[in-house]
Amino acid sequence: MLFNGLFFALLLILFIIFYFFYHINNKLYKNKEFASYIVIITSISTFILAIGVLFQVITYQIQQYKNAVQSYTDYSKDFLTYIIEMFREYPEMNYYYEELFFNKPIQNNQHRNIVLEQQLSINIFAKTVETIAVIKEFPNNKDIGIIKDNFIKILGNFFKSPTFTNYYVHYYKPFIAGPIVIEFIYENFGL
């Protein structure tokens, strides 16, 4: 950005100098040699201006790409936080939390809240849509590749839960999931 600002400042100074030089030496402008120098300098200035604009556009695109990757990286960190916060709101669902995160089977004598299990599972699936969309949008980015690897580890652990897998296969996949999610889950987990 400093380069672009300096460039435009120099271009403006050059323009002002030639403008005053032209007005002071009006008779020189009638000289064909002097006129050709002005045309050459104007052409060079226009070319440099075009390069400056091109650099600005390229710099803007690179910055936008970096900002997108950074926001998606932040989002992937928020993914787990979001899920943990859901379980903190409902401490009676610790049995499901332990099954999802630690693969501890739900005891037969455990009082279960099936409706809340479904709601929590659907919330988790809904939260995965954004991450999957980002992974599909930037498949060749190494930062997104790291997010994908971590995301697959987390979801892989969740899909070890029979309850979570059941909600995906019987409720989410046939009624709510879009083709991108279905394809991603099938490619990575065979469901």
State the residue for tokens 């787990």.
80
| Integer angstrom CA distances of residue 16 from 8, 26, 42, 129, 136 | 12, 15, 12, 56, 51
Q: Which of 45-59, 138-152, 163-177 has the highest mean pLDDT?
A: 163-177
Asked whether residue 91 carries a pLDDT value surpassing 70, the answer given is yes
Q: How far apart are CA 49 and CA 43, in angstroms?
A: 10
Provide DSSP, the chain: -HHHHHHHHHHHHHHHHHHHHHHHTHHHHTSHHHHHHHHHHHHHHHHHHHHHHHHHHHHHHHHHHHHHHHHHHHHHHHHHHHHHHHHHH-GGGHHHHHHHHH-PPPPTT----HHHHHHHHHHHHHHHHHHHHHHHH-TT-HHHHHHHHHHHHHHHHHHTSHHHHHHIIIIIHHHT--HHHHHHHHHHH--
Domain tally for the chain? 1
User: pLDDT band for position 103 (50/70/90)?
Assistant: confident
Give the tens place of pLDDT for each residue, 29-43: 566 776 677 778 888
Residue 73: which domain range? 2-189
Give the tens place of pLDDT for each residue, 46-72: 888 888 888 888 888 888 777 766 766
Percentage of residues in the chain having pLDDT higher than 90: 12
Residue 181, classified by CB atoms within 10 Å of its CB into exposed (0-12), middle (13-18) or buried (19+), is buried
